[in-house]
Structure 1
Amino acid sequence: MFFTILAIIGKILLTILKILLFLLLLVLLVTGLVLFVPVRYDFSGSYHGNDIRAEGEASWLIHFISLRFWYRDGKTPYILRIAGIKILPGKIKEKQERKGKQKAGAKHKNKKTTRKSNKTTAKNESKDSVVKGGKDFLIKNDADRADAGEEKLEDVQKVDLKKDIKQNKKNNKQKNKDKQKKCLWKNIVSKLKGLMQIPKKIANTFKKVSDAVKKIFAAVRSGKEKAVLVKEFVFGRECLDFVCVVRDNVLHLWRHIKPKLLRIDMTIGFDDPAVTGQVLGVIAAFCGAAGIMPCVTPDFEKRVFESDIEIKGRVTVFVLLKILIKVYFCEELKEFKKSYKSIREVL
């Protein structure tokens, strides 16, 4: 009995160990694939006048995960697939688009039905008005008699209102004259007070100007000292060493990210042929420094710019992490941080 229990426990432990080893191997396999399998990118675009088109794709692990997008007429649709199954935009967006189309169709039908109903109601109202024409005529005659008496009363009331308005205007004119006299006296007194305060204002402005000049001179003196400190920091050994490390790693990163296939076909032209020649010289210098060989066709007769571009390359996550870790843990960065903190405290 005891040995059977030990055998069962041993089998359970072995199965647990097998599961743990399987999970460990799976994690190692996934991390290895993520780190060492490159992400491939492919991009192509064209520009011909107002016609702008672009198309790109990024894939990983033989298109196990792929993201593709387009740009045409100001729209950028995209598709994300995993193992050939479309994940984004997904079925939810498609359902929403269908519902939107169905709602638009229903609204169009409702508009047609409302127009028909309005036409039928208008016809019925015209018939009812013809039938009730005689009765309405009699009612209108009685109403006109009553309105004649009311108009006489309204004329009397209008005459009284006009008299009241004239009286109110006279009273308002008198009040305005009294107010203007009071305002004149107040303005005269305030102007006299202002003239008495002019010498004080002049003295205060002189004081402010002198204080501002003193502050400017003090800022210039302190600015000179700060400028000397900043110059020493920029041209110091710590800063220059860190710049050299960053430059070397950026060049290493560019050599890794640089497209394996780069095809550029351009047609360039300006109104002035001399400007076209100068631009061609700048492009040649830049492409020679970057190691790019585009196909540039100059047009010395008219102003034009057209281009077609195609880029293909790959990026490995392991190389990117290696460069970042190398820069982050280098001694030059630590010394640069120390000198930067010291100068920041002084400034």
Structure 2
Amino acid sequence: MGIVIGILKTVGVILLIILAVLLLILCLVLFVPVRYRARGEIPAEGKPHGIIRLTWFFSSLSYSLEYDTGKYEKNYLSQLKICGFRFRMKQKVPKAAAADEKKSVPGGDDAGKSAEEEKKPENEGQCSGEAVQKVQKLQEKDTGKERSAQGREDGSCKGEEQKGEEIKGKKPEEESEQESKPEGKSKKESEEKETASHKTAWWVRFSDMLSSFFKAVKETFQNIQYTISKLCDKIKQIRDNIDYYIDVLTLDETQLILKNVHGEAGRLLRHLRPRKMKVDFIVGTGDPASTGQILAIHGMLYPIIGETVHISPDFEKPRLEGEFDIRGRVRFVVAFAAVLRIILDKKTWRFVRRLKKEEMTNGRKK
């Protein structure tokens, strides 16, 4: 019994250690901030460059994204660093450098091809031409033989058919004399029947054509009527939905929910904004009017950005140069708390049910 209790104690201790480690990791993720920094420069002469870096827990985990137009083939490089170990994308050599390396290498595929072509004999083209001519002559002979054979077969078949028709056409003289008398009557009757059948066939064709035309017109009108009625039903449904959602949004409870969401979003944005920011740019569009509009927008945002963003205008020529350095931090616990405050509110779920058009009785779903 004591052995069993000892085993249970060890298992419990192990489970408590695992639970403590998980709680420690959760607290680190929620409360240790993720620091970010973005800095770059747009020089007057040269290529722009910049870098964005994210670090967490004393830089044990970091990610950086660097942009430089002349340094990398795709103009950027991203790398991840975990406890000092770097994991980066393969750096590709720029196309201009690769082309220079290929040119600098002596020989190569072109040299091999030229050497092989030099080794080929001069008379090779003549030999190949004579061989092609011989093959063409043999093919022409074979095709002539096949055509002649086909002609003979066709001629023999036609001769046999003509002979059979002649044999069938021949009749005894006695039968021809007996049948010569009623031939006149039968011809007249057959002609009369043919004319009558032609007349009836023409009328039937005309009546069928008229009936098919009227049928097609009727079907088209029915289709048009169906599409119009369907379109009207859709428009009515859309109008009813718009009226319903307008009524839902104008409720006092909905207004309280929207105010709550607006407040939480503002709190989160204030937490995300940079702690330190320095932006210094010289801006010119070449048009004094548009440059003045940019300065007007900067003046409108001055209560928010303050003196951290400085813009110098250039009214004479188009120009954009300067540098920036932005730093800040983010704690996941702030975003998590904001989301929880919105989700745990019962009014939010009632608002969601109304948007889904679920029937409610006394604040509960049926």
Do the two structures share a fold, i.e. TM-score over 0.5? yes
For normalisation by structure 2, the TM-score amounts to 0.59
**Cα offset for 1:25?**
2.8
Question: In the alignment, what sits opposite 2:192?
Answer: none
1:294 equivalent to 2:299? Answer: no
SS of 1:259 mapped into structure 2? coil
Change (3 A) 1:289 1:301: same
Distance 2:112 2:83 in 1: 51
1:85 equivalent to 2:96? Answer: no
Question: In the alignment, what sits opposite 1:240?
Answer: 255
What root-mean-square deviation, in Å, do the aligned CA atoms of Structure 1 and Structure 2 show? 4.7
Distance 2:114 2:231 in 1: 82
- Name stretches of at least 5 consecutive residues in structure 2 with no aligned partner: 92-97, 138-143, 145-204, 361-366
Aligned partners of 2:54 and 2:62 also within 8 Å: yes
Question: In the alignment, what sits opposite 2:243?
Answer: 228
Question: In the alignment, what sits opposite 2:68?
Answer: 72
1:62 equivalent to 2:61? Answer: no
Question: In the alignment, what sits opposite 2:149?
Answer: none
Q: How many residues align?
A: 278
Aligned partners of 1:259 and 1:313 also within 8 Å: yes
Distance 1:298 1:330 in 2: 50
Q: How big is each residue's C-alpha offset from its partner over 1:238-267, in whole Å with a ceiling of 9 and x where there is no partner?
A: 332221111111111011111111222222
For normalisation by structure 1, the TM-score amounts to 0.62
1:45 equivalent to 2:43? Answer: no
Distance 1:323 1:114 in 2: 70
**Cα offset for 1:321?**
1.2
Q: Which has the larger radius of gyration?
A: 2
Change (3 A) 1:212 1:264: same
Give the 5 Å matches for 1:1-347.
6=2, 12-47=7-42, 51-73=47-69, 74-86=74-86, 88-89=87-88, 111=109, 114-115=112-113, 117-118=115-116, 120-122=118-120, 125-126=121-122, 225-289=240-304, 293-342=308-357
Question: In the alignment, what sits opposite 1:187?
Answer: none
- Name stretches of at least 5 consecutive residues in structure 1 with no aligned partner: 95-100, 141-146, 151-156, 158-189
SS of 2:324 mapped into structure 1? strand
Letter in 2 for 1:82: I
Q: How big is each residue's C-alpha offset from its partner over 1:184-206, in whole Å with a ceiling of 9 and x where there is no partner?
A: xxxxxx99x99999999999888
SS of 2:293 mapped into structure 1? helix
Letter in 1 for 2:88: P
Distance 2:78 2:243 in 1: 54
Letter in 2 for 1:75: N
Aligned partners of 1:233 and 1:343 also within 8 Å: no
Distance 1:117 1:209 in 2: 76
Aligned partners of 1:39 and 1:59 also within 8 Å: yes
**Cα offset for 1:72?**
1.6
Letter in 1 for 2:352: K
Distance 2:111 2:359 in 1: 76
Distance 1:20 1:217 in 2: 65
Aligned partners of 2:245 and 2:355 also within 8 Å: no
Change (3 A) 1:337 1:292: farther
Q: How big is each residue's C-alpha offset from its partner over 1:144-193, in whole Å with a ceiling of 9 and x where there is no partner?
A: xxx9xx9xxxxxx9xxxxxxxxxxxxxxxxxxxxxxxxxxxxxxxx99x9
Aligned partners of 1:262 and 1:310 also within 8 Å: yes
Distance 2:20 2:224 in 1: 78
Letter in 2 for 1:83: C
Change (3 A) 1:32 1:213: closer
Percent sequence identity is 23
Q: Which has the higher helix share?
A: 1
Aligned partners of 1:287 and 1:293 also within 8 Å: no
* The 10-residue stretch of structure 1 (73-82 or 33-42) with the greater mean CA deviation from structure 2: 73-82
Distance 1:310 1:234 in 2: 42
**Cα offset for 1:111?**
1.5
SS of 2:76 mapped into structure 1? coil
Distance 2:311 2:33 in 1: 32
Distance 2:315 2:242 in 1: 49
Letter in 2 for 1:51: K
Aligned partners of 1:264 and 1:309 also within 8 Å: yes
* The 10-residue stretch of structure 1 (257-266 or 277-286) with the greater mean CA deviation from structure 2: 277-286
Question: In the alignment, what sits opposite 1:97?
Answer: none
**Cα offset for 1:231?**
2.2
Distance 1:338 1:231 in 2: 15
**Cα offset for 1:278?**
2.2
Distance 1:24 1:34 in 2: 15
